[in-house]
Structure formats: C-alpha cells, structure tokens
Structure 1
Amino acid sequence: MRIRSRIENALLDLLAAGGVVCIGLVIAAFAFDISLILFKTGSMSPTIPQGSMSVVQRIPADEIEVGDVVTVDREAGELPVTHRVIEVHPQRAGEALIEMQGDANPTPDPGPYRVTEVRKVLWSMAGAASVIVWFSDPWVLGGLTLAAAALVLWAFWPREAQYDGEPACADDEAGGRP
C-alpha cells in the first residue's frame, strides 16, 4: 500500500505542478499580449507549414522590421493574413504601410497593409493546429472536465485509517482518553 500511496501522491503533485504552469502561462499571455494563431494554408511553407500553430505577440507599427513574419487583420469577414514583411513605409506617428509576401508565394501580396499594430510570430510548431482543434471539441472538453472533477473527488475522498500495529499516541496505549 505504501508504494501505491507514493505513486498516487507523485501523480497528484505532477498534476498540481501542471496546473500552476498553466496558470502562469495564462497570466504571461495577458501581461505580454501573447496569443496563438493556427495556419490553414501553406503560404508560409517551408518556414511555417500548413497545420502549424504559432505564438504571436502584438507589437506597434513602429517596431515592425523587414524580415519579420507578422499577422495583419483584413477587412471584416476575411481571415487575417500571416506573411513575411518585405518593405516598411513609415507614415505618421504610430502607423506604417507594410508590404508582405508568403514564403511559398512567387509574388508579393496585392497591396500594402496600413497598420497601427501587428502580431509578430515569435515561434511556431508544425502539426500542432490539429491537436489544438481536437482539444477544443466540446465532447473532448466535457470529458476532460469530468475526468478532472473525478480526480479532485478521488483526491479528497475520506479514506479509512490504516492500522500499522503502532499506537498513534501514548494515551491509546493505556486505553484512556485525555
């Protein structure tokens, strides 16, 4: 029983540490304006292949440099575009016109984008988009929620005291109560 108890405690400690890491990542995401972007197309291949996930940080137009891979929002109803910056034309304070081109595209995007801020790609992971999409399925989220609730219930469920042959205190040995 002692080995089982140690394994259970180690598992709970590992899960608690994972929870603390997740909370820290959420706080960092809000503090540093970081988010995730999933890639549906291969226009940035081979640098960022189709099905990748990227971590992006919002930066002002004044910080954009040629060679950065950035995401810009387009007109309402259109998906944002993530391409490499090939030219930056500073405008009035806090604004820039940027020209972009996908690494896999033979020509630059049709026109410049007028921006006050963009989301700069910090790093990406190939193939991670499908995993994130799978975890965001309501059935998967529901199952994970039920599993977490069952784990918490199990962790705090009262257990029977186990007698190992040794008295708990001196009063138990004498058979009296304080």
Structure 2
Amino acid sequence: MSIPSTRRDLREQARRSPVLPGDASDDPGIVALEPRRRRRVGRMLGDAALWIAAAAGTVCILLVVLAMTAGITLILFRTGSMSPTIPAGSVAIVQRIPATEVEVGDVVTVDREGELPVTHRVTSVAPGESDAERVLTLRGDANASDDPFPYTVSTVRIVLFSAPGIASVIAALGHPLVLGGLTAGATLLVVWAFWPHAPRRGRPQTRAATRTTEER
C-alpha cells in the first residue's frame, strides 16, 4: 500500500475511505441532519395529537347530534344493582322510547321525581290510565326481589349496550378543570399547527460533495 505524498493524494484517500460509526460526529452533513430529524419527530407527534383531538371532538359532536335527533345519551352506573350484567363503574348508551314499546326483559332507565333515575330490568308490564302510559315493575339483576313499588311512565330510556370500567373516566372528563385544560391544550395545538414556520433550507453538502468541489 503506497503512502500518499501530496495533499491531493490525502484528499483522494479520505474521499474513498468509508466513514466509520465513530467518525459520524465529525461529518458536518450528518450533524446537520440531527436537528431536522428532531423537527420531523416533533411534527409527527404534533400531528398525532391533532388527530386525537379531532377524533375526540368528532365523538362529542356526534353525541350531541344523537342526543338531539335520536334521544341517545349516556348514563353512569355508580352501584352494582345490575351486576353482573352491568357492573358498577360502567357506562351505558340509552335511547328514549315510548313506554308502549317496552317488553319484559328490557333494561330501562326510569326517572323519579326528586330522586336519581333507576336502571333495572323489566319484570312485568301493565296498562296505565292512558293509552300512552304503562306501569312497569323493575328488578335489579343483583337483587332478590322486585323494586318496592311500580313505575307509571309514558317514556323510558332503554339500554342499548354498556361498557364496564369507564364511568370514572367519563366523570373526570366532565370536571370543569379537566374541560378547561383540554380546551386550552386543543387551542395550543391548533395555533401550533397553523403558525407560520420558517422555510426549509436546502440540504447541506456532504463531505464527499465538498471535497469534489474543492478538487475542481
């Protein structure tokens, strides 16, 4: 192997030699790529957060539309009277329907004046004083007997389906401080996404390209 004797030979040997992993930090082209990679990762994370916020907003809008048009809402189960079918801490999606459509075996929510609503299974249905009214006897799946008294209703909310274990999350999201924080975070994300960014600069020349230019 010949020993390079001139500056041109030294440059030619350096250009042909592979760059070892330990020498990456000495390459200005590689060093210049690191901030760009960090900016790309930050933008990807920001975009992901925007998509999540957009999805959450879409769900909220959908729930509002369903509540106004189809009478579909959410209810939280704080007790286990409907266990094991609907354990405590569950969230159920319910829809308001006429009492004339209720059948034995349905799980319904009935409103009680001056008290919290009750959600139990229908064990019997009897006619009311009017054609639109029904007298319902209810019982929780975890209870050994029917509720102490029947309920005379013209409408009820029937349980469509339920999801266990997320009532605490839904309740926390409804807290004013949490709502304020989510609103502020979504606002910052939108401002960050639409804030004008500095124009991208051209790619830095690599060491090989620089040496080729010097040799010319």
TM-score, normalisation: structure 1: 0.83
Percent identity of paired positions between Structure 1 and Structure 2: 56
Aligned to 1:126: 164
Give the alignment partner of residue 118 of structure 2, picking from 58, 81, 92: 81
- Which AA in structure 1 matches 2:171? V
Q: Does 2:202 align with 1:164?
A: yes
Contact 2:89 2:166 in 1 (8 A): yes
Aligned to 2:87: 49
Give the alignment partner of residue 135 of structure 2, picking from 82, 92, 97: 97
Deviation at 1:150, TM superposition (A): 0.8
Deviation at 1:10, TM superposition (A): 4.6
Q: Quick one: distance in 2 between partners of 1:83 and 1:153? A: 47
- Which AA in structure 2 matches 1:125? A
Question: Residues 107 and 17 of structure 1: is their aligned pair in 2 closer, same or farther, counting only changes over 3 Å?
Answer: closer
Question: Residues 18 and 120 of structure 1: is their aligned pair in 2 closer, same or farther, counting only changes over 3 Å?
Answer: same
Q: Quick one: distance in 2 between partners of 1:4 and 1:78? A: 53
Question: Any idea what SS the aligned residue of 2:115 has?
Answer: coil
Q: Quick one: distance in 2 between partners of 1:89 and 1:10? A: 56
Contact 2:53 2:186 in 1 (8 A): no
Question: Any idea what SS the aligned residue of 1:73 has?
Answer: strand
Give the length in aligned residue pairs: 164
Q: Quick one: distance in 1 between partners of 2:103 and 2:93? A: 18
Q: Quick one: distance in 2 between partners of 1:143 and 1:9? A: 17
Deviation at 1:8, TM superposition (A): 5.3
Q: Quick one: distance in 1 between partners of 2:110 and 2:139? A: 12
Deviation at 1:164, TM superposition (A): 2.7
Contact 2:63 2:73 in 1 (8 A): no
- Which AA in structure 2 matches 1:79? L
Q: Does 2:96 align with 1:61?
A: no
Question: Residues 151 and 90 of structure 1: is their aligned pair in 2 closer, same or farther, counting only changes over 3 Å?
Answer: same
Aligned to 2:155: 117
Question: Residues 110 and 55 of structure 1: is their aligned pair in 2 closer, same or farther, counting only changes over 3 Å?
Answer: same
Question: Residues 74 and 24 of structure 1: is their aligned pair in 2 closer, same or farther, counting only changes over 3 Å?
Answer: closer
Higher helix fraction (1 or 2) = 2
- Which AA in structure 1 matches 2:131? A
Q: Quick one: distance in 1 between partners of 2:88 and 2:176? A: 24
- Which AA in structure 1 matches 2:120? H
Contact 2:46 2:189 in 1 (8 A): no
- Which AA in structure 1 matches 2:142? A
Q: Quick one: distance in 2 between partners of 1:126 and 1:71? A: 17
Question: Any idea what SS the aligned residue of 2:105 has?
Answer: coil
| Structure 1 runs (4+) greater than 6 angstroms displaced | none
TM-score, normalisation: structure 2: 0.69
What is the Cα-based RMSD across aligned positions, in Å? 2.0
